[in-house]
Chain A
């Protein structure tokens, strides 16, 4: 840490050493020497937490298979007689002229443009901060560190007030532009770039006559890949799950992301003359979380080592 010039900024956060994965071989050997006995009691105790973590998800899966009447009449933790999952899914997708699909496409747009853009900017910015000298560099980095501590929600209302003056609210831009900046991503990429790309390597590339652009794409980018995947995954989750920002920026349901759409379906039950559709809310919820859960399970290797590297959260 102390060797990275970038981290000598005013508010260094204490972080564990950033060797990526622990050398597994030595770890295994250490275990074999005095391997602790497995404990059934401890497994059961920890199992309680797992039950707590998974129970609501199980409940959601089961509930998504029920008809509206089945929801009220049967026990929450077991299947009802009618298995209505497929018709629920069909209803969810076709309800209100397929508005659910529209929301899904909106969400994808926000995720691709917002998270993709945020990662792109974080990589460029982090690389520039770590590898080039320019006037005011220390100042810029200090602002970035400070920005990590500014809670996103605290900025949302001020951003809304400004965007409404600019006439940007109620357009996709209002959701995409604020998502483009991830101070945490920028911070992580700066630290990562400072350590992953040796200055000698860049010098060698320059001596060999490679231009800056070529150096960046051919030499630096591959070295940054693990960091990029981590930043991408976490910005994706935060845009996919974003609720507060679209809530204040968007009025037109045609631009809603899934989170806001589900919320509005749920709110229908409470309004006068509204038609309660709990089974669609639940099935829609299930469909909303499936892609993210799949992404997390499939990309385990990346985010776990990425978190170990950063050991910071967003």
Chain B
């Protein structure tokens, strides 16, 4: 419990404390109350970053969870050849570290010796560069989807497995088709798993860091130092040495993530009742 306090409560407390001060070149550190928070809310770079992960969240999360759900339903339906192979194969990318996943995709995106380059050569076309400023967010979304589809699929699948099969038989006797069984029995039965997966995906989107940070080396111009809120905090703390302000932004993002995750949970649970 002491260790728990050291690595969990202490950093939160310390950064709360930091966020209330400001370091000046002249006069040293002084107590400034909530000024840093005011600054964060007026900071256009912070808002750009926040809007970007917001967009990411709205587009990427439904696509990823949608694919995961469809695959889980397909595997659960028992209508596939080689069900176990499918389950394991789709899950495998989860075991790949974000660094390796990003490097792999980053190389494949490359127009020089990547797959995009191959397609261009083979068909004599020139696809837009996935690492350009316009497309890099979509490219990152693809990497994240690739990493976590299998994971979410497995969560849904585990939830589907514990649905009593007597329900399906009853539905069949009542003349319900496959589709009706899915919408009326399976989806409601795994609502809990859906809510949890959504919450974790939301957290993941808001805290997006690894993929853009690694891709930055392959696409230095497309990814700015305030690409996502976490990258912004990181560059504030390291390149900018603005520890107090970095702590503030980290707290704002942490709070925001928790509030939204909590709201989703409340909503998901209420529908259930």
- Band of interface residues on B: 35 or more
Assess the B3–A259 pair: CB atoms within 8 A: no
**Beta-carbon nearest neighbor of A282 in chain B:** B107
Closest to A290 in B: B95
Nearest-CB residue, chain A, relative to B122: A75
Q: Answer whether A151 and B257 are a contact pair too, CB < 8 Å, given A59-B108, A158-B247, A178-B7.
A: yes
Q: Tally A residues with Cβ within 8 Å of B.
A: 99
Contacts A50-B90, A151-B257, A262-B100; A30 near B237 (Cβ below 8 A): no
Q: Are A53 and B103 in contact (CB under 8 A)?
A: no
Contact A161 B162 (CB under 8 A): no
Distance in angstroms from B71 CB to nearest chain A CB is 5
Q: How far is the CB of B214 from chain A (nearest CB, A)?
A: 6
Contact B261 A149 (CB under 8 A): yes
Contact B118 A77 (CB under 8 A): yes
Binds B, one of A39-47, A85-93, A217-225: A39-47
Asked if A106 lies at the interface with its beta carbon under 8 angstroms from chain B, I say no
Interface residues of B in 55-112 (CB under 8 A from A): 67, 71, 74-75, 77-82, 85-86, 88-101, 103-105, 107-108, 112
Contact residues in B for A272 (Cβ distance below 8 Å)? none
Q: Which residues of A contact B246 (CB under 8 A)?
A: 157, 161
Contact check, A31 vs B78: say whether CB atoms are below 8 A apart.
yes
From A30, A150, A312, B196 is in contact (CB under 8 Å) with A312
**Does B95 contact A157, Cβ atoms closer than 8 Å?**
no
B169 and A43 form a contact (CB under 8 A) = no
Given the interface pairs A63-B107, A157-B233, A177-B7, the reply to whether A45 lies near B247 with Cβ below 8 Å is no
Number of A-B contacts (CB under 8 A): 279
* CB of B13, distance to nearest CB on chain A (Å): 9
Distance between B20 CB and nearest chain A CB, rounded to angstroms? 13
Q: Within the assembled complex, what's the spacing in Å between the Cα atoms of A27 and B75?
A: 15
Q: Please name all residues of chain B whose beta carbon is closer than 8 Å to the beta carbon of A77 when the two chains form the complex.
A: 115, 118
Distance of A29 Cα from B113 Cα, bound (Å):
53
Chain B positions within 8 Å of A, measured between CB atoms, are 1, 3-4, 6-12, 14-15, 18, 67, 71, 74-75, 77-82, 85-86, 88-101, 103-105, 107-108, 112-115, 117-118, 122, 146, 149-151, 154-155, 158-159, 161-162, 165-166, 168-169, 172, 189-193, 195-197, 199-200, 203, 206-207, 209-210, 213-214, 217-218, 220, 230, 233-234, 237-238, 243, 246-247, 250-251, 253-254, 257-258, 261-262, 265, 268-269, 272
Known: A49-B90, A307-B158. 19 other contacts (CB 8 A): A15-B196, A16-B162, A30-B165, A30-B166, A42-B79, A43-B79, A52-B149, A53-B89, A150-B8, A154-B250, A154-B254, A154-B257, A157-B234, A159-B11, A162-B10, A237-B95, A289-B100, A304-B158, A312-B196
